[in-house]
Amino acid sequence: MGIIERETTGLGQLEAVEGKSANGEGDVAGLLRSPENDGRIGVDYVGSLIQRVSANSVQEIDRLISYLRTLREGLHDEGERVRREIVEFATLNQAAMQSTKLIAESLSHLKRPDAPASTQEIS
């Protein structure tokens, strides 16, 4: 048996084992220990298993990265909204302070010079 035939046979057996093990019918441990597989099926099976597990992990990591990017964009947008509201509040507060100052100055000019300084002097 040549190398190509052995690898082809090994892959065929691996596919058969994977199909049977998924159904619960195969004996993976027995196939991995069998002397005729020359150790190649075990390596292929483990490699295939690691590839499937790592693919799922990579997909989950990609989903998490996407989710975190979405959260980051949302936080950035919310931060910008809060910044705009703070600027708006500061502007409104400044206008209110200026209005209060003008009103206080206007009231001080309306004060009559002959008016009593306090209500105690009236009695």
79-114 pLDDT tens trace: 999 999 999 999 999 999 999 999 998 888 776 666
What pLDDT sits at residue 90? 98
Output the pLDDT for position 108: 84
DSSP 8-state symbol, 120: G
Look up the pTM and report it: 0.44
CB of 50 within 8 A of CB of 80? no
- 116 contact partners, CB below 8 Å, separation of at least 6: 122
19-54 pLDDT tens trace:
444 444 455 555 555 555 556 677 788 888 888 888
Interatomic CA distance for residues 42 and 13, integer angstroms: 10
